[in-house]
Amino acid sequence: MKKIALLLALLLAVSVCFMGCTTGNNVTGTDKVADVDYVKGNGKLIVGITDFAPMDYKDADGNWIGFDADMAKAFAKYLGVEAEFVEINWDNKAMELETKAIDVVWNGMTITDEVKGLMGVGTAYCKNMQVVVMKADKVNDYKTIDSLKDLDFAVENGSAGAAALDALSIKYTAVDTQAKALMEVKSGSVDACVIDLLMAGAMTGEGTSYADLAAGIAVTDEEEEYGVGFRKNSDLIDEFNKFWTASLADGSVETTAQKYNIAKNIIK
């Protein structure tokens, strides 16, 4: 009996130890991923972006600026680290997060069910729509969705604009960025592109590099919302939400939004 009791006690001890070790080293669906410590350990927050004015673009000295870039720098400072910006292939943004090539996606990313299935998302911060951009002298000729069916489009691969045209069964040529989609229209390679309303407002019309282009009709029925993407269950999400609430309260979001002329689009 004593031998049996001892054997049972040993088995129980091994079982408890195994359970304890397993619980301590495996992340479950409800556990937080310790990205805050990871980022602080690296001394930098790696921000995945594309060239997308007025959210992320380079100044004359080659530095990344824009509403998203400025706020990403402020969030990095809040964490006690530096912001490092990395241009990514937008269609691979979720993979870039998971492989830790980047720590966040912060580039006017439209929150969709697909995005929420691939990554964690912070508090929505900006309103947007997908609009058609074409030569300014042609805009008034295309006032309905049906009128767009025979046009040649360029759209950023994996973007909300691409999803909108897919939903409308309108064919397009996929390019790397929204900036390239605009360039295709300007060059005459395509008739039109679909890009974010915020970008269309900043990049087309008088006084811009695309003075001969203009925004036309929207190809989505509802307003979209931008969000910052993180790895699923990342504890950076909670830190971002705290940071954003504080930044709204102290006026820094409003000041930065006014600087880039998007104050009317900010979610408050």
Q: Are residues 85 and 200 in the same domain?
A: no
Q: Within a 13 Å sphere around the CA of 59, how many CA atoms are in the beta-carbon half?
A: 9
Q: Are residues 51 and 171 in the same domain?
A: no
Q: Are residues 64 and 102 in the same domain?
A: yes
* Nearest alpha-carbon partner for 48 in 72, 21, 77: 72
Residue 183 located in a structural domain? yes
Torsion on CA atoms 224, 227, 230, 236, rounded to nearest 10: -150
Residue 117 located in a structural domain? yes
Q: Are residues 211 and 176 in the same domain?
A: yes
Q: Please report, in tens digits, the pLDDT of each residue of the chain (268 residues total).
A: 434 444 444 444 444 343 344 333 333 445 788 999 999 999 999 999 999 999 999 999 999 999 999 999 999 999 999 999 999 999 999 999 999 999 999 999 999 999 999 999 999 999 999 999 999 999 999 999 999 999 999 999 999 999 999 999 999 999 999 999 999 999 999 999 999 999 999 899 999 999 999 999 999 988 999 999 999 999 999 999 999 999 999 999 999 999 999 999 999 9
Q: Are residues 120 and 243 in the same domain?
A: yes
Residue 26 located in a structural domain? no
Residue 77 located in a structural domain? yes
Residue 7 located in a structural domain? no
Ranges of beta strands (E only) in the chain are: 44-49, 57-58, 64-65, 82-87, 104-110, 120-121, 126-128, 130-135, 153-156, 173-175, 192-196, 213-218, 224-230
Residue 11 located in a structural domain? no
Q: Are residues 95 and 163 in the same domain?
A: no
Domain end residue (candidates: 200, 218, 236)? 218
Residue 18 located in a structural domain? no
- The total number of structural domains in the chain stands at 2
Q: Are residues 116 and 156 in the same domain?
A: no
CATH code of residue 187: 3.40.190.10
Q: Are residues 200 and 89 in the same domain?
A: no
Q: Are residues 182 and 64 in the same domain?
A: no
Q: Are residues 76 and 194 in the same domain?
A: no
Domain that holds residue 152: 130-218
Q: Are residues 108 and 189 in the same domain?
A: no
Please, are residues 106 and 47 in contact by the beta-carbon 8 Å criterion? yes
Residue 81 located in a structural domain? yes
Q: Are residues 155 and 191 in the same domain?
A: yes
